[in-house]
Structure 1
Amino acid sequence: MSNPKEIKKRILSIESVIKTTEAMKMISIVKLRKTKDLLTKSRIYLDHIEVILLDLLFTVHKKDLEKNQFFSRKKGKKLFIVFTSDRGLCGSFNSLIFEKINFFFQKEEALHKECLFLSIGKKGFDFLCKNKKYNIYKNWIGNDFSNREIQFLVSELILDFFKKNFSEIYLIYNCLKQSLFQEIVVDKFLPIPITYAVNFKKNMSEISYILEPTKKKILNFLIPKFLNSKLLKILLESTIAEHTARMISMHKATENASDIKHDLILNYNKERQTTITKEILEIISGLESLNKKK
């Protein structure tokens, strides 16, 4: 049987754990609300700029699109941008992404030489460093950065893409499909597929833009803004999935700690009761021995 003092210490430590997990849960809830508000605004902006871009693409001939560097297909290495968290304690948020990467590349080892990786988040960078078979393109970037930093990152990616350092860019991130269900999405970032405009059905008669100075310059100005807003939206979706996973894991941790505390309190009461019973028996036996001597 355990010592009541040791059980009491364990109860106090469990109470501190409950306070910590409950505080982390509340922090995740607050951050989740803020991020959802930002995602709603970014989606509105992305939808509007996407409609303008698709309308513009309808006025451009397919051959001209093939000559454009944003749409042209090249041969070379592929870059995979992995969105992970900076901290742990978020359930299977990071492990699902790592399993997806391992599953995708475990069949063909030759793909490792053709692929480069850029991690947005410390956990992804640690994972790529441990697995030396994955070639890191650049150092990790924290997943908490401003619009200016996103624009700088996108501009660097576009320049490297134009320099033919890699032929394609893919984004691997967690997307919250339902309130509790997460799905790993692999989305193509560059080059933009020419069929992207074909899927958007619209009558040519509805388009009445007067374009100045040229369609090419407008496309080159509009596409980076579209890529910025797309990357921001995906980053916010990944952040929402992270905070949701952390909120759920901290809620479960709080419940488990509360159950352990309940069991410890029962054990403490039992041990305390047995100790009191032993002391009473010792007193009674002492009294009986004194009476016998008299």
Structure 2
Amino acid sequence: MAEIKTLVKRRKSAKNIQKITKTMALIAAAKFKVASRKVTAAKPYAESLNKLVADLMSRDSSLSHPLASKNEKVQNVAVIVVASNRGFCGSYNTHVVNHAEREIQQLKDEGKNVFLHVVGKKAASIYHSGSGSKELHTDLEDAKYDNVYSLAETLVDQYLNKEVDEVRVIFTEYISATQQKTKATTFLPFPIDEYQGEGTSGNYEVYPDVNEVLNYVVPQSIYSNLYRIFLESSVSEHVNRMIAMNKATDNAAEMIKDLTRLYNRARQAQITNELSEIMGAVRSLKK
């Protein structure tokens, strides 16, 4: 009897967990749709700005911009680690932190000073203690443009003031709903080499002056790049949580099925024992 009560409690708990995980999967799916639309809208804009900058600077080798100029000696490197504020998203945060650890260790092995900017409570809890210069950012959830812009401005100021020689970002690139990739990319200086080989349009005129246009376009391109990175991280987080919660819901269903089978067997055994006791009592009375 005690075993049956235990199985009933366990099955009830599994059903409650299944309801929670199913609800979380539905919420993650809704957030994923909204975030994926933002990525779809922001990515072409950021790529067009990047190609425009590369196009303008490829026209004249004498053209330059402080945010697109590489430092001869890279000693101080700022590293932005973009994780999430919430858990239950599979191995999303683990992959980001592991990739960041490898990147940081490689930079230290090269004798460089690393300054961390940790985004998300999950990564912040890991980097909260320990030595080294770091800034914790836990208010950048859902990639709000104003907050991302503020962080980008801070990094741009540090780069222009020679406080850092390079800024790198570790994030999760969103490729499709079934494929996300953790990667490191250069945020500052502007990675012009990545876009110069993609061809130029050459079908526009620059007014009033190329330098003036560059002074406006380069910072805008840099800000939009960081915003796109945060959007891709956000949509990757949501799709990973959706997948993880769907798997948890399926596992709960399997557990409920197994517990139901055990309950039926235990109940059947109990009924058989009770019938045996009744039949034994009847035979005793007849004697």
Give the TM-score, by structure 1 length. 0.88
Residue 13 of structure 2 corresponds to 13
- Root-mean-square deviation (CA, aligned residues, Å) is 2.3
Once the 2 structures are TM-superposed, how far is the Cα of residue 150 of structure 1 from its aligned partner?
2.0
CA gap of 1:107–1:237, structure 2 versus 1, over 3 A, is closer
- The answer (yes or no) to whether the contact 1:24–1:250 under 8 Å persists in 2 is yes
Distance 1:62 1:245, change over 3 A: same
Name the CA distance, whole Å, in 2 between partners of 1:73 and 1:90: 37
DSSP 3-state at the match of 2:164: coil
CA separation in 1, counterparts of 2:125 and 2:161?
28
The structure-2 alpha-carbon separation of the partners of 1:71 and 1:151, relative to structure 1 and needing over 3 Å to count, comes to same
1:150 aligned counterpart, secondary structure: helix
Tell me: CA distance 1:263–1:2, structure 2 relative to 1, closer, same or farther (3 Å): farther
Alpha-carbon separation, structure 1, partners of 2:191 and 2:107: 26
Q: Report the equivalent of 2:113.
A: 114
Deviates more, 1:283-292 or 1:101-110: 101-110
Q: Equivalences for 1:1-294 in 2 at 5 Å?
A: 3-59=3-59, 61-65=60-64, 68-74=65-71, 75-106=74-105, 109-110=108-109, 114-130=113-129, 132-133=130-131, 135-196=133-194, 198-202=196-200, 206-212=202-208, 214-292=209-287
Deviations for 1:217-273, whole angstroms, at most 9, x for unmatched residues?
A: 321211121112111211111112111111111111111111111110011111111
Gaps of 5+ in 2: none
- Alignment: residue pair count: 285
CA distance in 2, matches of 1:113, 1:258: 51
SS at match of 2:185: strand
Structure 1 residue runs of 5 or longer lacking an equivalent are: none
Deviation at 1:143, TM superposition (A): 2.7
Distance (whole Å) between structure 2 residues aligned to residue 95 and residue 117 of structure 1: 17
Q: Aligned partners of 1:286, 1:243: CA distance in 2, in Å?
A: 63
Counterparts in 2 of 1:197 and 1:276: CA distance versus 1, 3 Å: closer
Tell me, what secondary structure is at the counterpart of 2:75? coil
**Is the Cα contact below 8 Å between 1:15 and 1:261 reproduced in 2?**
yes
SS of the residue aligned with 2:84?
Answer: coil
How far residue 44 of structure 1 moved from its aligned partner, in angstroms, is 2.8
- Read off the aligned partner of 1:232 and give its amino acid letter: Y
Residues 110-153 of structure 1: per-residue CA shift (max 9 Å, x gap): 558611111221111112225x2553145444332422222222
Contact map agreement 1:58 1:197 (CA 8 A) in 2? no
TM-score w.r.t. the length of structure 2 is 0.90
In the alignment, residue 209 of structure 1 is paired with which amino acid? Answer: E
State the SS of the aligned residue for 2:128. helix
Q: Distance in 2 between matches of 1:71 and 1:122?
A: 32
Measured after TM superposition, the shift of residue 69 of structure 1 is: 1.4
